Amino acid sequence: MEGSGERKLIFKPLGLTSYKDVWKIQTVLFDSILSAKQKGNNNHDNYLITCEHNHVITLGKSGKESNITIHEFPGVEYVRIDRGGDITYHGPGQLVVYPILDLEQFGMGLKTYIFLIEQAVIDTLKSFDIESGRIKEYTGVWVDYQSATSRKIAAVGVRSSRYVTMHGLAFNIKPDLTYFNLIVPCGIIDKEVTSIEKELGKEVDFEKVSEVFRLNLLRLLG
């Protein structure tokens, strides 16, 4: 696919923010790009939102509520959403990334885009001496990905329309992993969830990891 239009990417770091508030921001930006494309304007802005969320469980449109293992979770919001994928948890210490992009401007399709997001995580983890990769049957990024004890460290769930994307990536830097016990993460029964902090066995700098990831993603986007 040939790229079209001048690529302009605006970075929007939102910090610790409620899921529904960021979803509204995403939707406004997503709709604005779709509207511009429908009017023949290919020189619109693209956006890169980064944040952490207050404790929330989200269920994608193909998800199953049976993957909620504990139905009483005080202090944790529950939201059904319009992305692909199953169920996941977001909370403090997890980097959440929402690229609102017109993929036609970047000359790529959806599969390439998802591969690129995963690669940005893989490259970031390598900077912190953690080897990671992909598993054929699942999306996301995995530690010990070639073994039976592979552990998920980043989840990907994307919505797209007319090559415009929203939703995106959840990257476990230093969240409280016990919250994942509320669900069957991504509907995968036999795999564990991990984080950079757990893998390294020491405290990590959230902002430093976030910046390394952002720079890797920008490099891969070109």
Residues annotated catalytic, as ranges: 186
Q: How far apart are CA 100 and CA 167, in angstroms?
A: 8
Q: How far apart are CA 76 and CA 91, in angstroms?
A: 9
Tokens encoding 107? 């000359």
Write the CB contacts of 199 (distance below 8 Å, at least 6 apart in sequence). 130, 143, 153
Q: Residue 124: phi, psi to the nearest 5? A: -65, -45
Q: Residue 154: phi, psi to the nearest 5? A: -150, 135
C-beta separation of 59 from 90 below 8 A: no
Q: How far apart are CA 218 and CA 23, in angstroms?
A: 22
Report helix, strand or coil for 209: helix
Longest CA–CA span in the chain (Å) reads: 52
